[in-house]
Structure formats: C-alpha cells, structure tokens
Amino acid sequence: MNDPIADMLTRIRNGQMRGKSTVSTPASKLRGWVLDVLADEGYIRGYEAAEENGHPAFEISLKYYEGTPVIREVKRVSKPGRRVYMGVNDIPVVRQGLGVSIVSTPKGVMSDASARANNVGGEVICTVF
C-alpha cells in the first residue's frame, strides 16, 4: 500500500455508498489524527481501536443524516507522488466554508480553521465536504 491515508478515505467513501454503519481500517498515528479531526468536525460519529487478525485497527462509525451520508465528497490533495504544502494564507476554503481541509502542521493535524487561528501552514492532507 503506497498511500495509507487515501486507502482509509476510500474505505470511508465505499462504506457510506453501501450504507454501512462501521468500516475498519488498519491503525496508525496519522490515521488516528485525521479521524480525530473528522470526528471533531462532525463528519463521523467516532472511532475506536480494535484488533484485526492480530494487527491494530480502527473501527470507524459512519454518520448519516436522514439516510444520506454526511460526507458528500472527500478528496486527497497531497499525494506521495506530489506533496502539497501551503502557507496559512494559501490554505483553501472548501465550498465557501461549508467543507473542511485537513492540514498537517508543525503543531499537529488540524482543520483549516484551526490552522488559520494558530497562524500555521503545512501539508494539506485532504478536503472534505
């Protein structure tokens, strides 16, 4: 697997298209930090650590509103073949503020609004709407 974050986002997208209540993904620190931001912003119900075939994993509880998935679109911005770094003034506003960009900064992984509030830029991991 070349891009674990893209794999996790694809599992979430596929699970919501099928109407699943939970999906499983292998655990890592970066995945956990991205899931923390998604949970804080209200895009997933939450997640918990589990074990799958002797390996650590996350069970992600997906969120729906009146039967439709809360996450309408999720896009990977910075990829292994093309890393995307932006200063605090260049971090994109997703759908006029209705969505969120997840940014990896020197102060940790945070949403675009938190990065602007802390006046830090970094690697734009993905955008969620």
Domains of the chain in start order, with CATH, are 4-69 (3.30.1370.30), 74-128 (3.30.1490.10)
DSSP for 72-117, written as a single string: --EEE-SBTTB--EE-TTTPPPGGGGTSEEEEEETTEEEEHHHHHH
- Rounded distance between C-alpha atoms, residue 22 and residue 37, angstroms: 18
Q: What is the pLDDT of residue 106?
A: 98
Q: Say whether 67 sits in a helix, a strand or coil.
A: coil
pLDDT < 50 positions in the chain: none
Beta 100-105 vs 44-52: how paired, if at all?
unpaired
Q: Whole-model pTM? A: 0.95
Q: What is the pLDDT of residue 126?
A: 98
| Residue-wise pLDDT tens digits, 44-69 | 999 999 999 999 999 999 999 999 99
H/E stretch holding 62 = strand 55-62
The contacts of residue 21 (CB under 8 Å, 6+ apart) are 61, 62
The contacts of residue 91 (CB under 8 Å, 6+ apart) are 101, 103, 112, 115, 116, 121, 124
